[in-house]
């Protein structure tokens, strides 16, 4: 990664930008309203990654009790293969550890080998499968988690 990545939390003002990135990345993107609501949700935390002020990617996580559930990780096409997803995942893991979470869970499309490989490299393990979890196209989800016990 040649460029410096800066991080900031989600704001209501960033909702439009996040919705645009979601349209670029996902077949069923979240709406601006969903991001706007999450900006006000005390259980939600987002790490927004910026390169030279431009939104390069983001990750959202919901925290309930001592568990974190990743909602989405998205990286703009022009910033892919530059280490942005790895940096975002590191930031979310840091947040989870600092906030006393014991585990991070996520679902990922079974065909998304690049993401699955990244998660495996970052210490996530495969813990299950959900048939027909995703739509457009229909596809199963690989369930993964990262145990954070002992990292606090």
Hey, which residues are catalytic here?
Answer: 107, 119
Non-local CB neighbours of 25 within 8 Å, separated by 6+ positions:
74, 75, 76, 77
Nearest to 25 by CA among 80, 106, 104: 80
Cis ω before 139 (30° cut-off from 0)? no
């Amino acid at each position: 990664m040649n460029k410096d990545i800066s991080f900031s939390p989600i704001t209501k003002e960033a909702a439009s930008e996040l919705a645009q990135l979601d349209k670029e990345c996902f077949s069923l993107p979240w709406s601006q309203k969903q991001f706007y609501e999450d900006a006000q949700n005390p259980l939600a935390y987002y790490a927004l990654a910026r390169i030279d002020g431009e939104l390069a990617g983001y990750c959202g996580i919901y925290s309930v009790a001592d568990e974190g559930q990743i909602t989405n990780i998205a990286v703009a096409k022009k910033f892919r293969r530059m280490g942005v997803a790895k940096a975002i995942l590191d930031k979310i893991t840091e947040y989870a550890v600092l906030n006393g979470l014991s585990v991070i869970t996520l679902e990922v499309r079974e065909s998304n080998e690049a993401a699955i490989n990244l998660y495996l490299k970052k210490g996530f393990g495969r813990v299950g499968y959900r048939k027909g979890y995703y739509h457009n196209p229909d596809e199963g989800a690989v369930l993964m988690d990262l145990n954070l016990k002992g990292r606090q």
